[in-house]
Each structure stands twice: as C-alpha cells, then as structure tokens.
Amino acid sequence: MKYRSVIATRLGPPEVLQVVEHDLRAPTPGEVRVRVLAASVSRPDVSNRTGETLYTGTPLAKNKPPFVPGYAIIGDVEALGEGVENVALGDRVGVLTIVGGYTEVLYWSSDSLIPVPTSVDPVDAATLILNYIVAYQVLHRVAKVEAGDIALILGASGGIGTALLQLGQLAGLKLYGLASRRKHGILTQYGATPIDYHTQDFVEVLRQAEPGGIDVVLDGMSRVNSIRGGLSVLRRGGCVVSFGDPGGFPALFRMLWLFATTNLLPNGKSYKLYGTSPYFLGDKRPFLEDWATLFKLLADGQIDPVISETLPIIEAAQAHRLLEGGSVTGNVVLVAPGLA
C-alpha cells in the first residue's frame, strides 16, 4: 500500500513542493504510525521552505532538502511498534513536528504524542498544536496577564493573532490590534480596537488612547522598529513579548541586543522572548497541561478557531501561496481525503 507526502525538493517558492508516494511500512520499535487527519499551515512552514528560518545551514537544520514541511498535525494511531505501551490503536493524537506534517501518514516516537479528545473537530484541533499553544503560553506563562490589563497585538489577524484575540477576550483584557484595514472586522468581533498599520502610527494612537501606558505588547512580527515602538507605550512594569520568527540571524542579533539593553535599563519595562524549544529540550508537562486546557476550551465552545481555508494535504503548495499572498485571516489547514 502507498501513502503520499508533500516534499520540498529544494529551498524556494511554493512550486518546490511536490507530491511523492511512499510504501507503507510497519512502525519500528518505540514508534507509532499515525493516519494524519489535519495539518496546520504556519509561517514557520513557509520559512522552512524558503530557507529563511534561523537554523538553515547550521548543524541543527531540519529543512535540508528534500524534506517534508509541516509543524503540527492531528491524527489517529493505526499501528504500534514493538514496546509501545503508552498509546493504543485508535487513539487520537497531536504531534508538534517542526517538519514532517504534510503527509497522509506520519511515523513518530510514541513518547512525543499529545493526547487529543475525539470529541473535538480535528481541523479545529490542528490549530491548537502550534498557534494556540503559543498564544496561550505567551499570555499566561510569559506575560502573566490579569483581567483588566491593556494589551496590544502586533500582527492580530493571523493564526496566532486570532488565537490571542480569543484568549485575550476570555482573560478579560482590553485589546488593541495591528492589522490591515480589510481585516479589522475580525478584531472588532473579539472586542479589540483595530489599528491600520498602513495609515496609522500605533504609537501615536495608543499615546492618545492610553496616556497612562499599556501593560503588554504581544509581538508576532519580530521587527525591531515595532518592538521599540511597543516598548515606548508601555507603562512602568509592562512587558513586550516577541514570539515571531525573526527571519534570519541579523534580525535575531538586533532583537537580542534590544533584549539585553532593555532589561538592563532601570525603567521598569521588560522585553521577553518566547519559543517552543523548551518542549523539545526540557519538561513537557507545562505544554501538555496547556494543551489539555485548550482542548477543553474548544470542546466547551469557548474558543472557535478562525479557519480561512481547508485544502487537501496534497495541495500544500496552494496553501503556501494563500498564506504568502496576505489574504488569509486566521488559519489555513490541510486535511486528509474525505475531510476536504
């Protein structure tokens, strides 16, 4: 039997993504075979494909062609390797893959699976594995927001931005969001005051609207000028949290310099960086706890992921074109045959 994956044959435009067939095999010891139901399409997937991600060309590179992109999936366990005892056939699971998700079948270590309730829609659930975990942890584990806090979201209309809107509203925050004017509707839907980054200076808008300063800036754009602007509108004790891909080492070095100088200044403001690397390098428990919280919020109808498009897994190249074209509000999700 065969299954299909989408492989980046080289680094470059969406056209480098090609569909390839593989022979189905039995999982190796300690491994499971997962029938993929849904795979999220994220900005890191695009950065991996273009080669703009930080680890391109380093010994840590996971995006050395040919490779299968795809940062996060939801699927059902359909085969167990020898010695696997912590998961059963038919279990629904999530995987934070970094690469490997654009496939109909995924082989993965059984000790790196995320339990997923079957009561939630797998397409919605796919957005929780990356975009919502980032949003939730940025709000509650890094910024440690409290009801009544004033927050600005830089990049409020994308997958993580819309997750921040929903979770921020649930947390009782007063929200402002930066987005193009044609996407302002989604911001107002979740109670945020929209700011058009094409025609408005968000620093001036916030200085007039919130002369006492704001509590937190949630930065998904990773542009130093925007981060500096965010720092300038913070009240004493406020923080900026960056979680976006800086798009290369020069930008990262500028951000790290700003990180060091900001946190050394005696002005009561702080600049923090967030990434998912602790999940792979350290204690997984905080992530598993927060995913469980998010799945409950989804099951209870308290969050409703904004999904702009669903496409078959084999149409990943078109999904990338949509994401890069700037027309997407919320998420794009690739789905298994029968779910498209």
| Predicted pLDDT of residue 57 | 67
26-47: b (≥16 Cβ within 10 Å) or e: ebeeebbbbebbbbbbbbbbbb
pLDDT the model gives residue 239: 97
Give a three-class secondary structure readout of 156-223.
CCCHHHHHHHHHHHHCCCEEEEEECHHHHHHHHHCCCEEEECCCCCHHHHHHHHCCCCEEEEEECCCC
Written out in words, the top-level CATH class of the domain with range 2-129+306-335 is alpha beta
pLDDT at 340: 63
Cβ atoms < 10 Å from Cβ of 182 = 11
Q: What is the pTM of this model?
A: 0.95
Per-residue pLDDT of the chain (340 residues; tens, 9 = 90+): 999 999 999 999 999 999 999 999 999 999 999 999 999 999 999 999 999 887 776 666 788 999 999 999 999 999 999 999 999 999 999 999 999 999 999 999 999 999 999 999 999 999 999 999 999 999 999 999 999 999 999 999 999 999 999 999 999 999 999 999 999 999 999 999 999 999 999 999 999 999 999 999 999 988 889 999 999 999 999 999 999 777 667 777 888 888 888 888 778 899 999 999 899 888 899 999 999 999 999 999 999 999 999 999 999 999 999 999 999 999 999 999 877 6
Closest CA to 176 of 147, 131, 218, 220: 218
Given this model, what pLDDT does residue 291 score?
98
Domain boundaries, the chain: 2-129+306-335, 147-274
- Classify domain 147-274 by CATH architecture: 3-Layer(aba) Sandwich (3.40)
Instruction: Kindly provide the b/e burial profile for residues 234-248, where b requires at least 16 CB atoms within 10 angstroms of the residue's own CB.
Output: beeebbbbbbbbbbe
Concatenating the DSSP letter of every residue in 260-317 gives HHHHHSSSS-EEEE--SHHHHHS--HHHHHHHHHHHHHHHTTS----EEEEEEGGGHH
Is the four-CA dihedral 301, 304, 310, 316 of positive or negative sign?
Answer: negative
Gap between the Cα atoms of 172 and 149, Å rounded: 8
**Which of 149, 137, 138, 139 lies closest to 173 in space, CA to CA?**
149
Task: Count Cβ atoms below 10 Å from residue 118 Cβ, excluding itself.
Answer: 10
